[in-house]
Structure 1
Amino acid sequence: MKTVVVIGALATAAVLTACGPDESPATRVSETPAAVTSTGASTTVAESPQASAFTATTVTMVGDYYRVDVPQVDGGTYVARFGFNRAIQDGVLQWIGHNSLPMDSVSSRDSQMVRIGTKVLSGHLIVTVYGDGAAHPNSFDLAQVTDIDTGKSITLSDLFTDLQQGLTTLSTQAEALVQQNPKATGYSKSLLTPVAEHFQTWVATPDGMRIYLGEIASHAAGNIDVTVPWSALDGVLKPGMRAVVSS
């Protein structure tokens, strides 16, 4: 089962000291430019031509019992860089603080994604934890979307004029897309009902809202994601929001 963390403006005091991304915290032991793909922790980056002021980086957060590579950005404006980087770091810290993981006996594999638009930054992180003797690994799934102008997180409530109408549209669109995915045969309809919990892990792409639904079918099928076109959400998006999230 996946663990989903809602990313927001957090001030977390957990296992690791939470410092700002532009300080020199103990959390940051290495920082390297993200490539399109890299060995080990896989990082992908998609960038619009106008957004060259930002670059994608990977920062390793370490403590006594864990080591997690997280997607970050460098350059650009301070408010956007700080808002995006801090939200992801705080999300990881919240997960660590809420889970007593036997990290001395597990290994983790990270998958990362960063997208840099002209008005929005998006990041996604999956940490897969393999425990000794466990039949299946557990995974932690985190996504962050930041408005470049304000540095604030864009939430589901920020997207839609009416949250419940937006969730209803997402539910209908997502289920139609899941039905087209042969990997999702036997998916659980109860995990696609119009409640925020089911759709809160998402990133903004030019084509649409990419939603990470998790293991809605079976563990063997893995994590399922769908991309709902922005055109399918035009009727429920707040005025001007499509121009931001599709940039």
Structure 2
Amino acid sequence: MRLRRGRVVRSRVVVAGMCAAVVVSLAACGDDTEAVATEAVATEAVETEAVATEADATTTEVASAPTEPAAVAEPYRADAEQVVGSTDRVDYDVFIPQLAEGDPAVTAEFNESMRAALQDMIDTHDTDRYTLSTQEYDVTRIGERVVAGLLVVSYNMNPPGAHPSPLLATVVVDTDTATPVTLTDIFPDLPAGLERLSEQSALLLPDTAAGPNFDRSGIEPTEANFANWLPTPEGMEIHFGDYQVGPHAIGLVTVTVPWESLADVADPDVVAVLAS
């Protein structure tokens, strides 16, 4: 019995020793594993920091790179064109207002409209022989949203008559849409708008060369009577032609109808463009 018990004791000792060795071995392995893990974490942190540094450098490089300035359209510039020619009835040598630079569509619309206005003057009288020459030409307005011009041509019979007569034309273009602005655009109810222009002109004409005895037929509420107008910040500048509101001797007559006087008959959006 003692021998058997002694074997058991020795076996337990051996087992215990083996377990101790295993524990020591595991502890050692644990230390190595922790060291490896620590080293991996440190390596990953270094690599992450390097990537972040590289990204920051790239961001800084992009942010500091010079940027191309946005293209800015050249502003409109007033110009003029001399138009010279002859038909079987008409000789003409006229300067007309033109635009340069700016929006090409707007410039083209304005310039072509002015040429068309001159052509209308050339074609005015089918049977007469006459000469057209420059009297006045001006790009009267280059606003924020509108451009406008005035053309006055001296009409003289050929052979010359006693007094040449001025022929008048105006052009107004909305620069937002590159289209002409007409009386119909300004007044949604055109007859009401023309009536208001007539009323206001009657109040303003006595203080002009036409005087209190102006010719009232020239301000009847028709499109023809108010066809020649120009926009100003203050109001609608109406140009009356030769003989329209008075005798030939007084020449052309102009009145300005304030926008406030048209407020209830004019389209406010169009007025905002014209007054800009």
Q: What TM-score comes out, normalization by structure 2 length?
A: 0.66
Residues 1:124 and 2:150 aligned together = yes
Deviation at 1:138, TM superposition (A): 2.1
Q: Which has the higher contact order (CA 8 A, sep 6+)?
A: 1
Q: 1:171 to 1:94 in 2, by over 3 A?
A: same
- After superposition, where does 1:80-229 map in structure 2 within 5 Å? 80-99=106-125, 102-103=129-130, 106=131, 108-114=133-139, 115-131=141-157, 132-214=159-241, 215=243, 216-229=245-258
State how far apart, in whole Å, the 1-side matches of 2:98 and 2:134 are: 17
Q: Which amino acid aligns with 2:174?
A: D
Out of 43, 53, 59, the residue aligned to residue 75 of structure 2 is 53
Over the aligned positions, Cα root-mean-square deviation in angstroms equals 1.8
Which structure dedicates a bigger proportion of its chain to strand? Answer: 1
State how far apart, in whole Å, the 2-side matches of 1:118 and 1:177 are: 28
Residue in structure 2 matched with residue 241 of structure 1 by the alignment:
270
Q: Which amino acid aligns with 2:272?
A: A
Residue in structure 2 matched with residue 35 of structure 1 by the alignment:
none
Deviation at 1:102, TM superposition (A): 3.4
Between Structure 1 and Structure 2, how many residues are aligned? 195
State how far apart, in whole Å, the 1-side matches of 2:179 and 2:160 are: 41
Contact conserved, 1:73 with 1:81, CA < 8 A, in 2? Answer: yes
Residue in structure 2 matched with residue 39 of structure 1 by the alignment:
none
> Quick check: which has more Rg, 1 or 2?
2
Deviation at 1:169, TM superposition (A): 0.6
Unaligned runs of 5+ in 2: 1-72
Residue in structure 1 matched with residue 18 of structure 2 by the alignment:
none
Deviation at 1:133, TM superposition (A): 4.4
Which structure dedicates a bigger proportion of its chain to helix? Answer: 2
| Secondary structure of the structure 2 residue equivalent to 1:140 | strand
Out of 77, 94, 100, the residue aligned to residue 68 of structure 1 is 94
Residue in structure 1 matched with residue 5 of structure 2 by the alignment:
none
State how far apart, in whole Å, the 1-side matches of 2:184 and 2:231 are: 15
Unaligned runs of 5+ in 1: 1-50
Q: How big is each residue's C-alpha offset from its partner over 1:56-90, in whole Å with a ceiling of 9 and x where there is no partner?
A: 00101111321110001111101111111111101
Q: 1:75 to 1:133 in 2, by over 3 A?
A: closer
Contact conserved, 1:191 with 1:198, CA < 8 A, in 2? Answer: yes
